[in-house]
Structure formats: C-alpha cells, structure tokens
Amino acid sequence: MSEILVVMTKQVSLLLGFLLFWAVSAQAQSDAVVALKSAKSIYVKSSSVLVGRSVIEEKLQKRAEFSQMNLVITRDEAVADIILEVHHDVLTKYVYTAVDSKRNIVVASGKLSSLGGTVAGKVAKKFLKQVMQARQS
C-alpha cells in the first residue's frame, strides 16, 4: 500500500511540476508580446565587424513598418525599450536577439544567413516582422 502511495505522490509531483512550467512559460510569452507591443525605442548592438550598428539602424529606419509603428532608434542604451543585439555565429550565419531592457527577457530572436542579401537588411525585416505579429495579436 505504501509503495502505491509513493508512486502516486511522484506522479502528482511530476504533474504539478509540468503545470508550473507551463504557467511560467505562458507568462514569459505574454510578457514578450506586451514588451513588443509597447516598445518605442530600440538600441542596436553588433559584435560583428562586418555588420555595423549604423548599417542595421539604417536598414531598420528604411522599412515602412518601422515608421508605421512609430519606432525610434536611440544611441542611449539606458533609455531604450528594446536592445537589438546581432552576433556572427559561424561561417555565413548570424544571430539576432531582442531583449526587453526593463525586464531583461528575450522578446524576439532569429538566425539568418549572409548569402542572398545583406545581414542588416535581413535582421531588420525579420525583427520588424516579429514586432508586427506581436502588435497584431
């Protein structure tokens, strides 16, 4: 009888753990959407020598979605709502990550190739698409 109780206790613990994980995950996704919906200013960082910050800023500002959403680029990281970081991964691969500066949570990310277009242009397009999707939800 006690063996059955131990097994049932473990199963209940696993179920509660899963439910807690699901609730935390759902909250994190909700926080990311809220951050993307309310963001106004973006600070751009690039660790890549080949893809400079100013080029990414220019590509963002040239996209129609950027002005439609009333976004601005800031050079002051302390006042930015979103910090957009771009890193060179391997060979022709690049990774970008957008972080909500107030909550320090990742709100958008992606991986892309430098083949068939500019990295800065692809980052701008993919990131702004994610922001638009969040704002339409």
What is the count of structural domains for the chain?
Answer: 1
Q: What percent of the chain has pLDDT over 70?
A: 79
pLDDT of residue 112: 95
Which whole number is the average pLDDT over 47-59?
94
**pLDDT of 137:** 86
What is the pLDDT, as a whole number, of residue 81?
Answer: 97
For residue 21, the model assigns a pLDDT of: 43
Tell me the C-alpha to C-alpha distance, in Å, between residue 59 and each of 3, 10, 16, 113. 64, 53, 46, 16
Strand ranges, E, within the chain: 41-46, 72-73, 82-88, 93-100, 105-113
Q: Give the pLDDT score at 2.
A: 57
Q: In this predicted structure, what is the pLDDT of residue 19?
A: 37
Task: List, in sequence order, every residue forming a beta bridge with 111; answer none if it has no partner.
Answer: 95
Answer whether residue 119 shows pLDDT above 70. yes
Q: Which domain holds residue 114?
A: 3-136
Residue 7 has pLDDT above 80, yes or no: no
β-strand 41-46 against 82-88: which pairing, if any?
Answer: parallel
State residue 110's pLDDT score: 96
- How many CB atoms are located within 10 Å of the residue 32 CB? 19
CATH code (residue 47): 3.40.50
Question: 95, 89 in Cβ contact below 8 A?
Answer: yes
Nearest to 42 by CA among 91, 89, 118, 108: 108
pLDDT of 44 > 50? The answer is: yes
**DSSP 3-state of 70:** coil
How large is the average pLDDT for residues 109-131? Answer: 95
Q: How does pLDDT run across 28-41, given as a tens digit for each residue? A: 458 889 999 999 99
> What does the mean pLDDT of the chain come to?
85
Strand, helix or coil for residue 133? helix
Cβ-proximal residues to 30 (8 Å cutoff; 6+ apart), any chain: none
Please check the confidence at residue 131 and state whether its pLDDT lies above 50.
Answer: yes
Would you call 85 helix, strand, or coil by DSSP?
strand
Residue 117 and residue 125 in contact, taking contact as beta carbons nearer than 8 Å: no
